[in-house]
Amino acid sequence: MSYTMSEKILANASNKDSVEAGDIVMANIDIAMTHDLTGPLSVQSFEKIGTPKVWDKSKIVIPFDHQVPADSIDSANNHIIMRKFVKEQDIENFYDVNAGVCHQILPEKGHVVPGEVIVGTDSHTCTHGALGAFSTGIGSTDMAMVFSEGKLWFKVPETNRFNITGELKDNVYAKDVILNIIGKVGADGSTYKACEFAGKTVEDMTISDRMVLANMAIEMGGKTGLIEPDEKTIQYVKKHSTKPYTVFKTDLDANSLNIIDIDVSDLEPQIACPHNVDNVKPISEVDTEIDQVFLGSCTNGRISDLRDAAKILKGNQIARGTRMLVIPASREVYSKALDEGLLKIFVDAGALVSAPCCGPCLGGHTGLIGPGEISLSTSNRNFKGRQGSPDGKVYLSSAAVAAASAITGRISMPE
């Protein structure tokens, strides 16, 4: 019989010889992640269950990233709740306010390796499928179950495999590829399904680029984003982790596999327009002034994104009437950007550079937009009210388009 990666990983995690799409399995969890914002609810639910100790203190990872540093007494209190939980349960992998965004920290600190089952109380947990792990977002009650039992039930998903081919033109990036795909299939185009990204274009991509694809699988309803591990994956994993790993690949004749061919050779930069991620247009069809540019997030806050943006911003000034926030995704990214002189380029151009955190992405902490204001963001969601006022608008783009647009004050093609 032939199976998909998801079927193979979930069979392995539930100690079965094989499982098929539609089966319900009870899978052992390798890594469980919660953060400062959804953590307190998870802890509350865990306490309601009444199990005294978590199932495995070495498999829980808790980064603080959504509201760091604390911006109110309420968020400081949430941090206190989580630090207390970390201490009481002796959680080994705790990253306080100085570390960065959870989906950057997990792979960077070696918590993700191929073949694992990873859950997180954050919908963009699907990012880690870029390294060949089955990784998905869950709620706080489910997380409480995982804290207690180390297991969770899953319905084995069918798979949409995006077979991506064609060489990307200059100024076209992984972000444009994924926005294009979401625009084509729609916000519910992969609901309940695993989204695999494959093909020559993906093979040629760096691990950072692959993370951009997997990160946004949820924006088409995907249960996880997945990329088959190759030499690049193994190199990355060995550099960051000492954990054992297992490589699972998809059999192309698997029953539950639906292959969708995507040719990106003619693709131009893509923009997701308000207020849905699937409202995607090529940049040539978008013309709007912008009030704020946000470069950062778990989608595009990595060093390669900062390099792409800095190259465009170097020696330029951000347009009058437009403001730009640059937030590196982690301390490691921040440090590299310092070493490479990128932060000086941003500061000299007139941008605000902030400490690693989720920033305005979810409109809860810093850099919110007001009524009638327009944000261009390298993050992953543009829902109504996502970055502040429900009367504001959010557009999504690559880091390069964000940088070029900051200079002109309107959504612009990088030159």
Separation of alpha carbons 373 and 375, rounded Å: 7
Residues paired with 135 in a beta bridge? 118
Q: Which is nearer to another protein, 53 or 384 (CB)?
A: 384
Q: Which is nearer to another protein, 355 or 368 (CB)?
A: 368
**Minimum separation from the CB atom of position 137 to another protein (A):** 4
Q: Which is nearer to another protein, 2 or 44 (CB)?
A: 44
**Minimum separation from the CB atom of position 330 to another protein (A):** 21
Q: Which is nearer to another protein, 217 or 237 (CB)?
A: 217
Q: Which is nearer to another protein, 37 or 164 (CB)?
A: 37
End-to-end Cα spacing for the chain: 51
**Minimum separation from the CB atom of position 280 to another protein (A):** 14
**Minimum separation from the CB atom of position 6 to another protein (A):** 14
Q: Which residues of this chain interact with another protein, rule CB under 8 A?
A: 37-38, 40-41, 44-45, 48-50, 66-67, 72, 74-75, 78, 120-123, 125, 137-142, 144-145, 187-188, 191-192, 218, 221, 223, 276, 362-364, 368, 381, 383-386, 388, 390
Q: Which is nearer to another protein, 19 or 138 (CB)?
A: 138
Q: Is 336 exposed, middle or buried (0-12, 13-18, 19+ CB in 10 A)?
A: middle
- Could you tell me the two tokens for 271? 């923009």
Is 182:217 a contact under the CB 8 Å cutoff?
no
For 250-253, the CB contacts below 8 A with 24+ separation are 250/3, 250/4, 250/5, 250/159, 250/161, 250/196, 250/198, 251/2, 251/3, 251/4, 252/2, 253/2
**Minimum separation from the CB atom of position 286 to another protein (A):** 20
Return the closest-CA partner of residue 8 out of 220, 247, 245, 276: 247
Return the closest-CA partner of residue 155 out of 133, 186, 134: 134
Collapsing DSSP states into helix, strand and coil, what is residue 17? coil
Is 271:377 a contact under the CB 8 Å cutoff?
no
**Minimum separation from the CB atom of position 148 to another protein (A):** 9
Is 86:57 a contact under the CB 8 Å cutoff?
no
Q: Could you tell me which residues come within 8 angstroms of residue 332 by beta carbon, excluding any fewer than 6 positions away?
A: 100, 108
Q: Which is nearer to another protein, 22 or 341 (CB)?
A: 22
Q: Which is nearer to another protein, 222 or 414 (CB)?
A: 222
**Minimum separation from the CB atom of position 233 to another protein (A):** 25
Collapsing DSSP states into helix, strand and coil, what is residue 153? strand
**Minimum separation from the CB atom of position 218 to another protein (A):** 8
Looking up tokens 């900051």, which residue turns up?
406
